[in-house]
């Protein structure tokens, strides 16, 4: 989904006539409702700087421009994209992560993390180059048009207020890998950023490429499927035994059934500590992805997701499966059957409301069932530890009453 799309010449004219922020905001409201004053200020400031970059005859006036381009399977959006054809006449798009930062400091012993001032306080956040790089990898791993056409994506970050000579940590050697994947442009780098865009967008496409990506099928890439499988092979920690294998095979069977059926299915797996629920979950996630299905592993707490994400990703930065691991509160705005399978581990810890202030959504169980063709809930009701933990067999059956429910 694209919030705002135009050609370079149309974008330039809207900035010149001071209508760009209002138009982007109007489109944003159509899709997401009200936006914060901070977001509106960010558009106003950053888009003026992108106007300066694109206000040149050396960048095709009919190249496509997208603002707030939604990334499949996430709530994340790319700030700015320019599309067209490169000098070899290959489809090409430049991803620009826009930042209004004026300083940041490196964080030792953390990969791709910096400290900067956000929302009135100093906070740790991902490096801008990592963000832009991760957006490219997400599209590469899950957008069928990007995989098959192919479409070449070129990420970068533009910190238009940032003085690198004053705060050089942003280009410190510890970020070398991400800087090589997505270079940083800072204050005074308008001509350098122009050169980067010109290198990859030599001829315009009137935005056709942007819609090709946005409207294309979402599926895991063959490379991601193969990489995940190789990460699991030979890892004794994930070998299934006895009943674990039976549950695993039943879940795969149900996943195959829902591919050619309009009906949803819900599977409930109960078991105490040490019965291998998470071993089954991770095996399912990998196998379903290898089969080309859209599957995600979700938990309320981040600790289990981080542990198993780290175990699976190995040392292959370029094939990070981060998008496969999600918070149980992320399905509030998901569409019906957006995913093939959601695997809810520790489902006894699910809550009714989501968000930092518990003010979003209606019920996480209902949202998970709504978002997927097959929902697999792993629960141990004796492990519910707070009054907000609502995950129970009865509750899951209640929300899955219109689906076929199976218990194990």
Which pTM value belongs to this model? 0.77
Residues 44-90: pLDDT tens digits?
A: 889 999 999 999 999 999 999 999 988 877 778 899 999 999 999 99
Under the banding of pLDDT at 50, 70 and 90, the label for residue 237 is low
Residues 127-159: pLDDT tens digits?
A: 999 999 989 988 988 888 888 888 999 999 999
Per the prediction, the chain carries an average pLDDT of 87
- State how far the Cα of 217 lies from the Cα of 350, in Å rounded to an integer: 30
Are 371 and 354 in contact by the 8 Å Cβ rule? The answer is no
Higher confidence at residue 271 or residue 305?
271
Residue 308 has pLDDT above 90, yes or no: no
Residue 87: which residues within 8 A CB-CB, separation 6 or more? 199, 202
Which residue is it, tokens 């138009």? 23
- State how far the Cα of 126 lies from the Cα of 376, in Å rounded to an integer: 32
- 3 state SS for 130-167: HHHHHHHHHHHHHEHHHHHCCCEEEEEEEECCCCCCCC
CATH class of the region 222-407? alpha beta
Residues 178-211: pLDDT tens digits?
A: 999 999 999 999 999 999 999 999 999 999 999 9
Residues 7-17: pLDDT tens digits?
A: 999 999 999 99
Domain locations in the chain as residue ranges = 2-215, 222-407
Residue 317 has pLDDT above 70, yes or no: no
Report the candidate in 369, 361, 330 with the shortest Cα–Cα distance to residue 75.
330
């Amino acid at each position: 989904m694209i919030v705002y799309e135009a050609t370079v010449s149309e974008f330039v004219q809207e900035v010149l006539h001071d209508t760009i922020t209002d138009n982007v905001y109007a489109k944003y409201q159509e899709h997401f409702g009200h936006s914060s004053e901070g977001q509106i200020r960010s558009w106003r400031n950053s888009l003026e700087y992108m106007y300066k970059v694109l206000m040149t005859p050396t960048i095709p006036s009919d190249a496509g421009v997208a603002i707030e381009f939604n990334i499949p399977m996430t709530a994340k959006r790319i700030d700015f994209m320019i599309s067209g054809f490169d000098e070899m006449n290959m489809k090409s798009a430049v991803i620009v992560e826009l930042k209004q930062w004026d300083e940041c400091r490196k964080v030792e012993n953390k990969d791709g993390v910096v400290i900067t001032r956000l929302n009135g306080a100093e906070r740790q956040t991902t490096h801008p180059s990592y963000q832009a790089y991760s957006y490219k990898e997400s599209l590469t791993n899950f957008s069928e048009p990007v995989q098959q056409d192919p479409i070449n994506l070129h990420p970068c970050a533009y910190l238009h207020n940032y003085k690198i000579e004053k705060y050089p940590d942003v280009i410190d050697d510890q970020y070398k890998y991400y800087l090589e994947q997505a270079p940083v442009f800072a204050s005074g780098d308008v001509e350098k950023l122009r050169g980067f865009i010109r290198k990859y967008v030599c001829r315009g496409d009137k935005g056709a490429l942007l819609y090709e990506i946005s409207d294309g099928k979402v599926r895991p890439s063959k490379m991601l499927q193969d990489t995940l499988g190789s990460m699991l092979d030979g890892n004794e920690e994930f070998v299934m035994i006895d009943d674990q294998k039976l549950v695993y095979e039943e879940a795969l069977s149900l996943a195959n059934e829902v591919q050619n059926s309009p009906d949803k299915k819900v599977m409930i797996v109960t078991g105490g500590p040490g019965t291998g629920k998470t071993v089954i979950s991770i095996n399912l996630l990998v196998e379903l992805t290898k089969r080309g299905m859209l599957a995600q592993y979700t938990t309320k707490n981040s600790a289990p997701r981080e542990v198993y994400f780290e175990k699976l990703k190995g040392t292959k930065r370029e094939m990070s499966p981060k998008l496969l691991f999600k918070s149980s509160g992320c399905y509030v705005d998901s569409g019906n059957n957006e995913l093939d399978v959601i695997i809810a581990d520790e489902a006894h810890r699910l809550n009714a409301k989501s968000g930092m202030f518990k003010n979003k959504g209606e019920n996480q169980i209902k949202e998970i069932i709504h978002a997927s063709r097959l929902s697999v809930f792993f629960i141990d009701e004796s492990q519910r530890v707070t009054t907000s933990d609502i995950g129970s067999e009865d509750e899951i059956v209640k929300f899955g009453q219109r689906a076929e429910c199976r218990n194990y």
